[in-house]
A and B are shown apart, each in its own frame.
Chain A
């Protein structure tokens, strides 16, 4: 599989007082709201479209870019009804509808059209439904953005040690070092390791919460999405 795109970018600054999505759009901040939406949803939409419509990397990127461009041009937020579905579901369905139209149009032009085959590597990922993939990617992106927020916050507030310990332990794939190893590596008591880890996790959770608050419409949807993140 091709490497994933980097479009979508890393997160911005710590959004300490996030307005909800609808509050932001209602008060004329639709540009800010849109930035947050694009930051959080670019990759989930990209992966969803890629596996749902069996596109290669570049086509999926173009399709995703086209979708978000069309969203910007249309009255996207005002048509969202929180009573019917979460914003996450709304954006996935809108992306699917957009891509289906584009797909049908492209196939008509090809008059019988070529079929895009999945690569063998893609097939094991596609064993899960694109909807499940979308949700997992949404969670991943939410945590990625929150980690960027945490990293920036630690840099700015002189908490590099806390972040380094957190990185060495919680962001390690595979076997994690023992607390004693970490204490020796960073020349701090073992109790500091657990304290620093607890602090970083707590702040990370705060950033996840803030990111989520900024991309949900009201407190009810926010609470429901919180449960989906942590369940």
Chain B
């Protein structure tokens, strides 16, 4: 059967739309396309609330079950899973509003706020790893920062997803250390190396080409980020003496000021007694 370009495009569009007649959801609009499928905004008619409905391109039920196992403030909760009449799987999840990390990064945010976002992402990853789940495709497009500062990691991967080149570890097979590599990529993306050589060193260690050169776990990575925030030396960087002194002085500024004031008073008293 011969078909024109316009009919072809129409068919591709209508045959891809999910048939939700037998569900409680009503399709409203397309939100975006992820690694494994399309995400739509839909109305849950029973509860009269909007949800994000992800329809997978291929009949894989594993992804939804995978995420449903994760109960964490930074993992978007799954409300329901199901199978469409054509065999595709779908799942309804909380509709998150906010900015994707790539848009967020372009805004005016302090170093401390950016590191808070990284910490939230890292905590979600560490939790998932403890449940035996790896993300596989961590990148700015898969992280959402809500209007109240909440952070969500989305699009938890399944085996068919191969990752995104700029954030993908060069590992032969993807595992927890590959996720750690991607997390280092996000840190480098959010905090440019010019802002802090210590943070740049943390990102570089996480992104070591050789997995054995990386942090052993995401928790160890987060501990180094915490050390940086507390003004301590980070494990990833053997800092030069001047930098150590600088860090010491900024960490102990009050003490140094008091010491200076004390020395000045002693000095003045010494001269007053003399004359």
Cβ–Cβ contact B12 & A171, under 8 A: no
Interfacial residues of chain A within 178-228, with CB under 8 A of chain B in the complex: 195, 197-198, 201-202, 204-206, 208, 219-220, 222-224, 226-227
Assess whether A139 is interfacial by the CB under 8 Å rule.
yes
Name B3's contact: one of A10, A140, A202, A223 (CB within 8 Å). A140
C-alpha gap A211/B227 in the complex (Å): 56
The verdict on A226 contacting B19 (CB below 8 Å), with A10-B1, A144-B3, A171-B3 known, is: no
Minimum CB distance partner of A208 in chain B: B15
Assess whether A170 is interfacial by the CB under 8 Å rule.
yes
For A226, the chain B residues whose CB sits under 8 A away are 57-58
Cβ–Cβ contact A205 & B7, under 8 A: no
Cβ–Cβ contact B8 & A143, under 8 A: yes
B48 to chain A, nearest CB (A): 23
Interfacial residues of chain B within 5-21, with CB under 8 A of chain A in the complex: 5-8, 10-12, 14-17, 19, 21
Cβ–Cβ contact A204 & B3, under 8 A: no
Assess whether A126 is interfacial by the CB under 8 Å rule.
no
The verdict on A147 contacting B19 (CB below 8 Å), with A202-B86, A227-B57 known, is: no
A121 to chain B, nearest CB (A): 15
For A229, the chain B residues whose CB sits under 8 A away are 12
For A136, the chain B residues whose CB sits under 8 A away are 5, 8
Cβ–Cβ contact B11 & A173, under 8 A: no
C-alpha gap A41/B15 in the complex (Å): 22
For B7, the chain A residues whose CB sits under 8 A away are 170-173
For B5, the chain A residues whose CB sits under 8 A away are 136, 140
Cβ–Cβ contact A147 & B1, under 8 A: yes
A100 to chain B, nearest CB (A): 28
Cβ–Cβ contact B57 & A151, under 8 A: no
Chain B count of residues within 8 A CB distance of the other chain: 25
C-alpha gap A119/B255 in the complex (Å): 85
For A174, the chain B residues whose CB sits under 8 A away are 6
For A117, the chain B residues whose CB sits under 8 A away are none
Q: Which among B7, B15, B16, B86 has the highest number of chain A CB atoms within 10 Å? A: B15
Assess whether B216 is interfacial by the CB under 8 Å rule.
no
For A201, the chain B residues whose CB sits under 8 A away are 14-15, 17, 19
The verdict on A170 contacting B11 (CB below 8 Å), with A10-B1, A205-B86 known, is: yes
For B21, the chain A residues whose CB sits under 8 A away are 195, 198
Cβ–Cβ contact A230 & B3, under 8 A: no
For B12, the chain A residues whose CB sits under 8 A away are 139, 143, 229-230
Assess whether B195 is interfacial by the CB under 8 Å rule.
no
Assess whether B45 is interfacial by the CB under 8 Å rule.
no
Minimum CB distance partner of A222 in chain B: B58
For B57, the chain A residues whose CB sits under 8 A away are 223, 226-227, 230
Assess whether A96 is interfacial by the CB under 8 Å rule.
no
Assess whether A122 is interfacial by the CB under 8 Å rule.
no
Assess whether B160 is interfacial by the CB under 8 Å rule.
yes
Q: Which among B4, B11, B12, B21 has the highest number of chain A CB atoms within 10 Å? A: B11
For A148, the chain B residues whose CB sits under 8 A away are 1
Assess whether A108 is interfacial by the CB under 8 Å rule.
no
For B85, the chain A residues whose CB sits under 8 A away are 202
Cβ–Cβ contact A205 & B15, under 8 A: yes
C-alpha gap A139/B21 in the complex (Å): 28
Interfacial residues of chain A within 129-153, with CB under 8 A of chain B in the complex: 136, 139-140, 143-144, 147-148, 151
For A147, the chain B residues whose CB sits under 8 A away are 1, 3
C-alpha gap A172/B14 in the complex (Å): 13
Q: Which among A144, A151, A227 has the highest number of chain B CB atoms within 10 Å? A: A227
Assess whether B2 is interfacial by the CB under 8 Å rule.
yes
Cβ–Cβ contact A202 & B19, under 8 A: yes
The verdict on A139 contacting B8 (CB below 8 Å), with A147-B1, A148-B1, A227-B57 known, is: yes
Assess whether B131 is interfacial by the CB under 8 Å rule.
no
Minimum CB distance partner of B85 in chain A: A202
B59 to chain A, nearest CB (A): 9
Assess whether B33 is interfacial by the CB under 8 Å rule.
yes
Kindly list 9 other residue pairs between chains A and B, CB separation below 8 angstroms, not including A219-B160, A220-B160, A230-B57.
Answer: A147-B1, A171-B3, A206-B86, A206-B87, A208-B15, A222-B58, A223-B160, A230-B12, A230-B38
Can you identify 23 A-B contacts, CB atoms within 8 angstroms? A10-B1, A136-B8, A139-B8, A139-B12, A140-B5, A143-B3, A143-B12, A170-B10, A171-B3, A174-B6, A197-B14, A198-B21, A201-B17, A202-B86, A204-B15, A205-B15, A205-B86, A206-B86, A208-B15, A223-B58, A226-B57, A229-B12, A230-B38
Cβ-closest 5 pairs across A and B: A147-B1, A205-B15, A202-B86, A223-B160, A201-B15
